Structure 1
Amino acid sequence: MTKALISLPSLSLIAALALSGCSLSIGGGSSSQAQGQQTQASQAASDSAGSAGSAQAPASSPATGTSGSTGQAVAGYEPGQIPPIPMISLPDLSLLTQSTGAFTPDLTRSITSQPGITVRPARCDASGSLVSGSTVLGGDGSMTASSGATSVTNNGDGSGTFNDGKVSITNNGDGSGTYSDGKVSITVNGDGSGTYSDGKLSITNNGDGTAVVNGSTISAKPVPKAGKVGTFPSIDAAKPVRSCGTVITLEDSVLFDFGSSDLRGEASTTLTNLATVLKDSKAPKVQVQGHTDSVSDDVFNQKLSEQRAQAVSSALKADGVAADLESVGYGETKPVAPNENPDGSDNPGGRRLNRRVEVFVPAF
């Protein structure tokens, strides 16, 4: 089904928002033991052993099943019972593409059509440093958001995903879902069956009143369905705040070959167009920031990011940009997407997003 995106003044069809933490909690499975105490996904990574919403450590002593047989259980749960899928937490919306200044919308309209370039209003922290992150809202109540290594998807139909590089949650919206944090793995199939594993304790609940715990068959209640994630609030629920400027993101493939800081010949057109926009805007100050993925070591990535930022800065100066140009490299320290999947495998799409140069123009 085609998803209609909300149109806002300064970006056609896309609402690019900055993130400022997680406060809106929706969805999540439930059980008689876990009602009212499910843990948010953002907490599960650091406290998976101590909260009812995420998988707990195995009990230190065996628990007795309803049929009188003996088998281990997850702490706080009956033998054979699978903990619920934790809730998914959505980020606060702290910035819409609507800018209260005259500069940002004008600059945005000037360069959104350039291939390999993304333009959005900038959000800065208290010290004035650029905060990375983006959110795209769909008119059907769906959304995707990323901030650093954390990404959240709410499909608007009761399903959604959460991934912060350590914890991965999938809620299919039909009563089924999965949870994984590298140690604990939970699967709820939505038909009363499910599995739990933490390396020491293995539970398979057959959904028919029986379960197998570390090879022993016991009586067990069917697994409750995972609750729906819910629908994202309408755009009217978000309160716009003043932008601190404009951030222009250039994909590294537009500028450089992989692992290189030498500008490609094709990059000249992109940078010349960008230089024209910056000159026309009469921006007094511009900061060029280099970023890499996590391939190679920290020292190499830091140096590469600095060299790439300097290469772009030099090209803009050569094209006549008179603004005070500052170049800085952040290496792999400010990702906007996970470099790896939850199972530790490579995430090429995430790495591609992290290899970028950001041109930050503070509001003036």
Structure 2
Amino acid sequence: MTVTRGLEGVVATTSSISSIIDDTLTYVGYNIDDLAVNASFEEVIYLLWHRKLPTLSELEELNQQLAENADLPKEVLDHFSMYPIEKVHPMAALRTAVSLLGLYDEEADKMDPEANYRKAIRLQAKIPTIVTAFARIRKGLAPVSPRKDLSFAANFLYMLSGEEPKEIAVEAFNKALVLHADHELNASTFTARVCVATLSDIYSGITAAIGALKGPLHGGANEAVMKMLSEIGSIENTESYIREKLANKEKIMGFGHRVYQNGDPRAKHLRLMSEKLTKLTGEPQWYKMSTRIEEIVTGEKNLPPNVDFYSASVYHSLGIDHDLFTPIFAVSRTSGWLAHILEQYENNRLIRPRADYIGPGMQRYIPIVQRG
């Protein structure tokens, strides 16, 4: 057998959802640059799930469905009080809450396409409510109920802070959601597809995906980037800090990507938003430090930044707690996970690869009393 560690370059399935060809990312054939500049996140959800951009009436219907399903069961909200709030990471809380949601969905185990689509709506609508409710409850604040008159991006920021967000904040957050919505067979998406390929339910698939996203080599990278920026502290300390890391052969989070040779096409959009927002908040040092780090790492290692690098300073400038960065990734990527889960169900085949065994050869069982 030919072994490909990490399945790098292995084509595991066909898909009509997103593609990465010659360093260009597309959703259903639409270039990510086009969508990042022009599309709402709600349009992108519809695009990924239906393989076409919505008409006005179709978008209005989706918005209404999401708004009507955004509230959480009281049991889920009450469950947060049982978590060890001081210790638990929001990604662990999200993973647990999504699994718990399945217990309160009467259609959880119904597998017809119509029921699965209804569950997709409910999950997409409730994920941001879970993240924002937990973020507030752990601070001793009451959850803020979702509003039906706000966009997806605006509603998240409103539920997080309790205040209606400014237009520039909504623009930045919507752009981040669009950019993170899908990314072909990344680790968490592949995890979701492996899970539901057994004909397990949607809640299991999304819970599994969240577990994969939690790792620092996947969704946790943007949180690690902000931790690094905070440790550096100022533009004056940037060069010595990074060069010491490079000299010690330590990984600089937020750089390089397995599927891009010449840079992540999503990064430039968040770079621009980082520049705008850090200037607006009076903290331009985060952007300046980031650009200096980019100059050094790209110059020394030929590794351009990926989407996680500038998303860190964008989210920080929006006043978002650093450990919420990865849950926000999940809020967006749920749209892609659900698209892939629904696609997997449409033409399912159990995903069962092989392993090249490298252990001992044929051995004979020896009774325990005879073992030395």
* TM-score scaled by length of structure 2: 0.27
Larger fraction in strand:
1
Larger Rg: 1
Q: Which has the higher contact order (CA 8 A, sep 6+)?
A: 2
